[in-house]
Amino acid sequence: MNKYFFIFFLTIFLASCTNSNEEDAFSNNDCNTDDVSYLSTVRQIVNTKCVSCHSSGTTNGIILEDYDNLVFHIQNVFFQINSDLMPPSSSIDLTECEINQMESWYENEMPL
Ligand code: HEC
């Protein structure tokens, strides 16, 4: 009988461990969409996900490597992202957090 109680409590103990780990992981993933600026956040996203194909050295005509050019193309940029056209490879798709941050930035009139 004692053995079964032990297993019972062990199971609860392990289950509660797993739960608290998930909570920790979740809170570490919190997405900060407050006070998003180009220099603090957006530049990093676009540099990582877009600029390899959209700098002045590339040939498709859409330059996204600096603030002025990004703002110039911003409507099309959101259209491409939201239609899942850009980036062309889903392996570098923007995360949900990155999209939320970009939208928050746009709604705040795209602060530098
Ligand atoms: C692997 C290369 C690559 C990456 C990464 C990439 N693009 Fe593109 N993009 C292209 C090419 C090539 C074109 C032109 C041909 C086309 O429209 O498919 C293009 C076209 C565009 C256009 C113009 C589309 C039109 O027809 O009006 C926009 C806007 C754009 N990309 C935005 C982005 C954004 C924003 C990102 C990052 C989230 C991104 N791209 C990432 C290769 C890339």
Q: Are 38 and 111 in contact (CB under 8 A)?
A: yes
pTM (two decimals):
0.80
Q: Are 34 and 103 in contact (CB under 8 A)?
A: no
User: Distance (Å, rounded) from C-alpha 47 to C-alpha 63?
Assistant: 11
Q: How far is the CA of 86 from the centre of ligand 1 (A)?
A: 5
Q: How far is the CA of 65 from the centre of ligand 1 (A)?
A: 12
25: pLDDT strictly greater than 90: no
Mean pLDDT of 10-20: 54
From the CA of 60, give the closest atom in ligand 1: 14
Q: How far is the CA of 108 from the centre of ligand 1 (A)?
A: 24
CA separation, residue 29 to residues 3, 23, 43, 79, 112 (Å): 39, 10, 20, 26, 25
Q: Which of 38, 41, 47, 50 to mutate to test the pocket of ligand 1 (most atoms within 8 A of CB)?
A: 50
Q: To the nearest 10°, the Cα dihedral for 41, 44, 46, 48?
A: -150
Mean pLDDT of 52-74: 96
Q: How far is the CA of 69 from the centre of ligand 1 (A)?
A: 14
The C-alpha angle with vertex 98 and arms to 92 and 38, in degrees rounded to 5, equals 110
pLDDT recorded at residue 29: 65
Q: Which of 12 and 32 is assigned the larger pLDDT?
A: 32
98: pLDDT strictly greater than 60: yes
Cβ-based neighbour number of residue 46 at 10 Å = 22
